[in-house]
């Protein structure tokens, strides 16, 4: 049974190509079912990668089907897409999956979402013995890497750093009110990070009312016009601004008027816009904490460096789990041969006892049971060491050679074996 993965990711392919083969969950499940006609298949699709994992008897054929599927999805010529594809098989494919699950192959090492995405892909796929084992062990490796190292502890995106810094300012941001200025993707991502930590997006201000209303409805907040932001400052705890305005959306004077009414309550302001939305002089006001995109990015760089230090330990965990999978998969090559050998030995034992039936007829039931037990023990002891050695050989690169030799020497699956020949 062969394991292959064909994929495209942020490592080599630009977003323009990755988006051509991006799959929604229902599409991924449908493609997995299509690819699994002759085996097993799982489709993993995230914003940074689309990967097709297949298991079957013919690895080359499985790889060809996966490449054809991605080319068909992209609606591009094969020559345009294939230079950006990677193809891995067997042990390399398993190690890659384990690294993906642990967040070691992500754009930001240790990012937390990938483990859930791997689990969802596995549950939506069509799995059998090989992919079921591979994905279960990959999920275990991912959880172990996170629990035994600090790879996921340090916020490593501007959005997550902003929320983490707010927690330092307030000690606890649960139920803190967030004022979102600008309803683009960056502001939305930052707001989502605050909400995940228990804060509430209470107000969304945007130049386009429809977008403000849409985002406010999603977070359970109130939409307001951009010019009405000043009056919302009195009640807000956090301000996140990310508009495309060419000038300041909030000046020092506006915030200063709100600060008087806040009676000493701190105000945390995050300016993610380029050019900046918030007057830098706001940071001079008592109780105001203003961070711009460069401040946050500096923390991101520091935290990514910390994650990279933990990544070495996570790599060791993943390598250990991948080795366990390799040994298990290698054993699949010799287990059928061992089972066949034991079945052949039992067949011979039973046949010889049947031939001696006339002589055994004079034995009592207890004596007959002793003979049965004795011959079974002889067979087991004779096969014990070969069985152990075969399992040990399975771990070696040439383990399959031993299995083939065993089949040849004992005529396993061979009708010409002596005990299978009919008397003339």
Asked whether 246 and 215 are in contact (CB, 8 A), the reply is no
CA distance 325 to 97: 11
User: 């299978």: which residue's tokens?
Assistant: 420
Annotated catalytic residue 47: yes
CB 260 within 8 A of CB 240: no
Q: What is the Cα–Cα distance from 286 to 266, expressed in whole angstroms?
A: 8
Which one from 12, 34, 47, 116 is the annotated catalytic residue? Answer: 47
Residue 106 DSSP code: S
The rounded distance, in Å, linking the Cα atoms of 374 and 385 is 18
Do residues 112 and 34 touch, judged by C-beta distance below 8 A? no
Residue 57 burial (CB < 10 Å; 0-12/13-18/19+)? Answer: exposed
Residues whose CB falls within 8 Å of the CB of residue 348, separated by 6 or more in sequence, listed in order = 419
Q: Dihedral of CA 370/376/379/385: which sign?
A: negative
| Residues with catalytic roles | 47
């Amino acid at each position: 049974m062969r394991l292959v993965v064909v994929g495209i990711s942020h490592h080599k392919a630009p977003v323009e190509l990755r988006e051509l083969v991006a799959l929604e969950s229902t599409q991924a499940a449908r493609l997995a079912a299509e690819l699994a006609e002759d085996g097993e298949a799982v489709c993993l699709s995230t914003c940074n990668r689309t990967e097709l994992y297949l298991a079957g008897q013919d690895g080359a054929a499985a790889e060809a089907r996966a490449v054809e599927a991605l080319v068909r999805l992209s609606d591009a010529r094969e020559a345009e897409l294939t230079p950006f594809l990677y193809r891995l098989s067997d042990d390399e494919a398993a190690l890659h999956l384990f690294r993906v699950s642990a967040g070691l192959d992500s754009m930001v090492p240790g990012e937390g979402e990938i483990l859930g995405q791997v689990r969802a892909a596995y549950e939506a796929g069509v799995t059998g013995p090989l992919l079921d084992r591979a994905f279960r062990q990959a999920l275990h490796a991912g959880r172990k890497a996170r629990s035994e190292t600090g790879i996921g502890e340090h916020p490593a995106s501007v959005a997550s750093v902003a929320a983490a810094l707010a927690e330092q300012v307030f000690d606890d941001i649960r139920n803190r009110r967030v004022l979102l200025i600008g309803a683009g993707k960056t502001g939305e991502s930052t707001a989502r990070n605050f909400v995940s930590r228990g804060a509430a997006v209470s107000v969304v201000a945007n130049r386009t009312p429809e977008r403000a209303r849409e985002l406010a409805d999603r977070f359970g907040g109130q939409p307001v016009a951009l010019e009405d932001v000043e009056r919302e400052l009195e009640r807000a705890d956090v301000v996140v601004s990310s508009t495309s305005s060419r000038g300041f959306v909030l000046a020092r004077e506006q915030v200063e008027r709100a600060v008087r009414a806040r009676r000493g309550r701190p105000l945390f302001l995050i300016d993610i816009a380029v050019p900046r939305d918030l007057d830098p002089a706001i940071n001079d006001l008592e109780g105001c904490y203003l961070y711009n995109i460069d401040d946050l990015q500096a923390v991101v760089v520091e935290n990514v460096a910390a994650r990279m230090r933990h990544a070495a330990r996570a790599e060791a965990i993943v390598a250990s789990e991948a080795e366990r999978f390799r040994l298990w998969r290698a054993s699949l090559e010799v287990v059928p041969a061992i089972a066949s050998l034991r079945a052949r030995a039992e067949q011979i034992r039973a046949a010889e006892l049947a031939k001696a039936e006339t002589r055994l007829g004079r034995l009592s039931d207890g004596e007959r049971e002793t003979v049965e037990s004795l011959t079974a023990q002889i067979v087991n002891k004779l096969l014990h060491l070969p069985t152990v050695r075969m399992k040990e050989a399975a771990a070696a690169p040439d383990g399959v050679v031993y299995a083939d030799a065993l089949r040849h020497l004992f005529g396993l699956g061979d009708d010409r074996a002596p005990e299978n020949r009919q008397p003339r």
